[in-house]
């Protein structure tokens, strides 16, 4: 068994200037921490979160945003009854509100404001909109997390280079890159949401989607002993948990990892490659 002191010495070395590049130093540190976990100096959960922190420092908003096609929108011109139905069925705490087109976001509506004041006389949605925060797709998650904390904001609208809405991102989305998937009382894994076709032809797939459902929907024939999910298929094929942005091709289907942490795959994009 290696001397634990040598491990601590190596960790201390990272505090002093070194000629190697930041990426090389980062990888060396991760390898040292993994060795520390193997020797029982830190536990697996702590290592996973540390790796998640490094991952957040390398990712940008475009890597984990919720695409605009998957957003539960509120149209400012919706009748109040329809608006209430949308909010109750979606069960979110915040909703982006648009007027005219979905690229014209005029504010954020909090569900608590809607439910608390909707029965008041002369209730107007506009009176209860909170300012929307807009960020570029290139914004680093580490910077965004600090902005969320400093401004006490929980949701941002992500815009592309042309000023159109690319999607949204929440503080929970960022934190999940560090601590793993955060389940709340509204996270019900319904099969209807497991596989969703996007406007560009890609298929958005939850990692825990059953292979049988994926095969039936996409027309594939994946069948591997002891593997039940799409995430399991990709991990078994690679022999490890892939990183966000990785492309993996299996039997003519290209998978792109959209959301993942060091322990599991949460969301993938799938597309059929030309023969």
Q: Which two tokens stand for residue 81?
A: 């009854």
CA dist., res. 114 & res. 221, Å (int)? 46
Give mean pLDDT, residues 210-224.
88
User: DSSP letters along 169-186, please?
Assistant: EEHHHHHHHHH-----TT
Residue 249 has pLDDT above 90, yes or no: yes
> What pLDDT does residue 166 have?
92
> What pLDDT does residue 185 have?
43
Angle ∠(70,71,75) on CA atoms, nearest 5 = 135
CA atoms 21, 24, 27, 29: torsion sign: negative
pLDDT tens column, 149-191: 898 889 999 999 888 999 999 998 888 877 766 555 445 445 5
Angle ∠(177,183,185) on CA atoms, nearest 5 = 150
> What pLDDT does residue 1 have?
47
CA dist., res. 261 & res. 146, Å (int)? 20
Residue 234 has pLDDT above 90, yes or no: yes
Give mean pLDDT, residues 251-268.
84
Angle ∠(5,10,11) on CA atoms, nearest 5 = 95
201: left (phi over 0), alpha (psi -120 to 50) or beta: left
pTM, 2 dp: 0.59
């Amino acid at each position: 068994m290696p001397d634990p002191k040598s491990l601590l010495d190596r960790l201390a070395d990272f505090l002093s200037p070194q000629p190697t590049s930041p990426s090389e130093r980062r990888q060396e540190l991760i390898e040292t921490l993994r060795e520390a976990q193997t020797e029982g100096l830190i536990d697996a959960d702590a290592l996973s979160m540390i790796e998640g922190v490094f991952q957040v420092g390398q990712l940008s908003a475009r890597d984990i945003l919720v695409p605009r096609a998957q957003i539960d929108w509120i149209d400012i011109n919706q009748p109040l009854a329809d608006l209430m139905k949308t909010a109750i069925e979606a069960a979110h705490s915040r909703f982006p509100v648009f007027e005219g087109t979905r690229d014209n976001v005029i504010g954020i509506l909090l569900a608590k404001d809607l439910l608390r004041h909707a029965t008041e006389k002369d209730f107007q949605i506009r009176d209860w909109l909170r300012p929307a925060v807009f960020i570029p797709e290139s914004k680093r998650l580490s910077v965004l997390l600090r902005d969320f904390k400093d401004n006490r904001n929980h949701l941002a609208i992500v815009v592309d280079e042309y000023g159109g809405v690319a999607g949204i991102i929440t503080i929970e989305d960022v934190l999940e890159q560090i601590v793993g998937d955060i389940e709340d009382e509204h996270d019900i894994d319904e099969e209807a949401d497991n596989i969703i076709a996007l406007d560009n032809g890609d298929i958005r797939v939850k990692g825990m989607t059953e292979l049988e459902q994926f095969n039936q929907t996409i027309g594939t024939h994946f069948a591997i002993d002891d593997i039940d999910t799409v995430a399991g298929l990709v991990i078994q094929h690679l022999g490890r948990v892939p990183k966000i942005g990785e492309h993996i091709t299996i039997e003519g289907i290209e998978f792109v990892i959209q959301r993942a942490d060091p322990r599991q795959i949460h969301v993938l994009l799938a597309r059929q490659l030309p023969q």
